[in-house]
């Protein structure tokens, strides 16, 4: 295969999120975020105060090492770099009227460092890091007041970085609020006490806030490209039984709901029916419907880690332990060490489905393999990780991306998740590593924080320098 598959200007890069790698959780005026009291990710309830076992408090210390890290990204040839702004660095409690200048200055420095190497920042405005005060005092996105606080925050950062950042994402994996309401939506009420009415009302608030951010961003800089971000997971019917097929369709709709509203600007018919059947009544404020309709996104971004299988009678099958959004085990697929089912072809399917549905540019902003790595001495005497399993995973997924591009899908770019090792969102471990760069920090908090290039570092460097051609060698 010699013809070029990946388009010219394709945005190759990597992705991270502030709360999972910056550390410096209480430096330079930063307030606490929900993550600072989640030492075990979503596995146990949050703690009262930050506790020393919470690896995110120090993360991988990007806050103090960003120059070294961005230099390594540049060495791999990144065209783009996805990270997030920690809301609580800018508005420590979330409801102040004036921002924290030290927080703003930090991101100026980070973006300048990226631009120095010609790396385009791709910035998530809210990535699982709602200020803790907003969670505790207002119950997070369950409360409509959050829209005003978010508006102030995004207006501040859009104005501040309007000449440095062009690509923005409004909410990370917005559909995850239904599954992890505290982490994703800062909703303090325990999940078991939340009704579907509460959750879908919170979703509505986020969707309105996202449309508002899109409006404000385009007013501040018409060149901004503002996208939504959803957790994508194709759902295969477990059998050709029409009941399984219909159940799979319903499952997919529960995710499409989010992109449908972001892209088409209104609630789809299947959602209205579902709400009616469940007795859910979404409260719209005056102007919400127009705001949603008039401020749709410029592109659709998504994370992709796994597919799932859906059965009308799931109790008849093995449940998929690692399936983030539910479903049953697919016997045709292998799983990662964390039970996430590995499905490169599913990525081609997702890309085609989104493209056929919306005809809007797509951006894969997360994909990767969380695995345990072993640091060894390489042939050149430098410490490294022989992560052929990661190369294999990424290569197979990227080949399917190439197939989707050949199918006619318009794709802006691809950023691997956790391009440098960082703290896991679901389990809060460091041993669940995704990076091309190994960070010497262990689950017990020990380690030098030194960085080492894994074997995949040079592999990805070649993928980028050949604009994907090396995938076909
Ligand atoms: C996505 C999130 O769900 O998956 C990231 O946007 C997260 O924040 C990533 O880190 C991988 O999940 P985990 O649980 O392995 O860190």
Domain positions in the chain are 11-466
Q: What is the pLDDT of residue 320?
A: 72
Quote the ligand 1 centre to 292 CA distance (angstroms): 28
Catalytic site includes residue 410: no
Q: What is the mean pLDDT of residues 159-165?
A: 98
- pLDDT tens for 88-105 read 999 999 999 999 999 999
Question: Percent of the chain having pLDDT more than 90?
Answer: 97
- pLDDT tens for 239-292 read 999 999 999 999 999 999 999 999 999 999 999 999 999 999 999 999 999 999
Q: Residue 33: is its pLDDT beyond 50?
A: yes
The whole-angstrom separation of Cα 65 and Cα 60 is 9
Q: Residue 329: is its pLDDT beyond 60?
A: yes
Residue of the CA atom closest to atom 7 of ligand 1: 425
Q: What is the pLDDT of residue 2?
A: 46
Out of 113, 129, 366, 429, which one is annotated catalytic? Answer: 366
Query: Phi/psi zone of residue 7: left (φ > 0), alpha (ψ -120 to 50 degrees), beta?
Result: beta
Q: What is the mean pLDDT of residues 438-456?
A: 98
Q: Which of 230, 325, 426 to mutate to test the pocket of ligand 1 (most atoms within 8 A of CB)?
A: 426
**Contact residues for 146 (Cβ-Cβ < 8 A; gap 6+):** 134, 138, 140, 186, 205, 209
Quote the ligand 1 centre to 46 CA distance (angstroms): 18
Confidence of residue 185 (pLDDT cuts 50, 70, 90): very high
Label residue 2 exposed, middle or buried (CB < 10 Å: 0-12, 13-18, 19+).
exposed
Q: What is the pLDDT of residue 319?
A: 83
- As a residue count, the chain comes to 473
Q: What is the mean pLDDT of residues 380-399?
A: 97
Nearest-atom number in ligand 1 for the CA of 305 is 4
Q: Which of 14, 17, 324, 366 to mutate to test the pocket of ligand 1 (most atoms within 8 A of CB)?
A: 366
The pocket around ligand 1, CB under 6 angstroms, is made up of: 17, 20, 128, 172-173, 231, 303, 366, 370, 417, 424-427, 432
Joined together, the tokens standing for residue 254 give 């529960």
Q: What is the pLDDT of residue 473?
A: 85
Nearest-atom number in ligand 1 for the CA of 423 is 16
Q: What is the pLDDT of residue 328?
A: 93
Quote the ligand 1 centre to 179 CA distance (angstroms): 13
Q: What is the mean pLDDT of residues 42-46?
A: 95
Residue of the CA atom closest to atom 2 of ligand 1: 425
- pLDDT tens for 206-249 read 999 999 999 999 999 999 999 999 999 999 999 999 999 999 99
Confidence of residue 323 (pLDDT cuts 50, 70, 90): low
Question: Percent of the chain having pLDDT more than 70?
Answer: 99
Q: What is the pLDDT of residue 66?
A: 98
Residue of the CA atom closest to atom 4 of ligand 1: 425
Nearest to 250 by CA among 263, 265, 262, 268: 268
Q: What is the mean pLDDT of residues 312-325?
A: 82
Composition of the chain by helix, strand, coil, percent to 5: 45, 15, 40
Q: What is the mean pLDDT of residues 326-352?
A: 95
The dihedral over CA atoms of 398, 78, 432, 324, expressed in degrees to the nearest 10, equals -50
Q: What is the mean pLDDT of residues 7-28?
A: 98
Q: What is the pLDDT of residue 119?
A: 98
DSSP code per residue over 260-292: HHHHHSS--HHHHHHHHHHT--PPPPTTHHHHH
Its sign, for the CA torsion 155, 157, 160, 165, is negative
CATH number of this structure's domain 11-466: 3.20.20.80
**Average pLDDT, rounded, for the chain:** 97
Confidence of residue 3 (pLDDT cuts 50, 70, 90): low
- Spacing of C-alpha 229 from chain mean position: 7
Q: Which of 60, 229, 231, 303 to mutate to test the pocket of ligand 1 (most atoms within 8 A of CB)?
A: 303
Q: What is the pLDDT of residue 1?
A: 46
Joined together, the tokens standing for residue 376 give 């060894």
Quote the ligand 1 centre to 431 CA distance (angstroms): 13
């Amino acid at each position: 295969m010699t013809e070029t598959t990946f388009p010219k200007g394709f945005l190759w890069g990597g992705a991270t999120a502030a709360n999972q790698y910056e550390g410096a959780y209480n430096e330079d005026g930063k307030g606490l975020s929900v993550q600072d009291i989640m030492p075990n990710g979503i596995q146990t309830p949050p703690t009262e105060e930050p506790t020393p076992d919470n690896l995110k408090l120090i993360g991988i210390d990007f806050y103090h090492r960003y120059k070294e890290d961005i230099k390594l990204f540049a060495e791999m040839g990144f065209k783009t770099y996805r990270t997030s702004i920690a809301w609580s660095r800018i508005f420590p409690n979330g409801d102040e009227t004036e921002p924290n200048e030290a927080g703003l200055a930090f991101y100026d420095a980070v973006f300048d460092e990226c631009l120095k190497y010609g790396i385009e920042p791709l910035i998530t405005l809210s990535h699982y890091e709602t200020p803790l005060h907003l969670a505790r005092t207002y119950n997070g996105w369950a409360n409509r007041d959050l829209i005003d606080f978010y508006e102030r925050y995004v207006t501040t950062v859009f104005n501040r970085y309007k000449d440095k950042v062009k690509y923005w994402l409004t909410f990370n994996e917005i559909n995850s609020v239904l599954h992890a309401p505290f982490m994703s939506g800062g909703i303090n009420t325990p999940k078991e006490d939340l009704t579907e009415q509460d959750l879908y009302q919170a979703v509505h608030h986020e969707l309105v806030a996202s449309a508002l951010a899109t409006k404000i961003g385009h007013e501040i800089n018409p060149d901004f490209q503002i996208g939504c971000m959803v957790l994508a997971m194709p759902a295969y019917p477990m059998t050709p039984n029409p009941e399984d097929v219909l159940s799979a369709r319903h499952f997919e709709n529960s995710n499409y709901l989010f992109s449908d509203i972001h892209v088409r600007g209104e609630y789809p018919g299947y959602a209205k029916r579902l709400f009616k059947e469940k007795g859910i009544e979404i409260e719209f404020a005056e102007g919400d419907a127009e705001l949603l309709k008039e401020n749709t996104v410029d592109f659709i971004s998504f994370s992709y880690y796994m597919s799932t299988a859906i059965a009308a009678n799931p109790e008849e099958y093995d449940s998929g332990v690692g399936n983030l959004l539910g479903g049953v085990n697919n016997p045709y697929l292998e799983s990662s060490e964390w039970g996430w089912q590995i499905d490169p072809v599913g990525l081609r399917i997702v890309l085609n489905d989104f493209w056929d549905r919306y005809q809007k540019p797509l951006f894969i902003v997360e994909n990767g393999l969380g695995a345990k790595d072993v640091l060894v001495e390489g042939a050149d005497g430098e410490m490294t990780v022989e992560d052929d399993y990661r190369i294999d995973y990424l290569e197979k997924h990227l080949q399917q991306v190439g197939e989707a591009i050949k199918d006619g899908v318009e794709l802006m770019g691809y950023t691997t998740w956790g391009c440098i090792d960082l703290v896991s969102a679901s389990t809060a471990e460091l041993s669940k590593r995704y990076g091309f760069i190994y960070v010497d920090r262990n689950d017990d908090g020990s380690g030098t924080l030194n960085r080492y290039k894994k074997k995949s570092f040079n592999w990805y460097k070649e993928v980028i320098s050949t604009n994907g051609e090396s995938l076909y060698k």
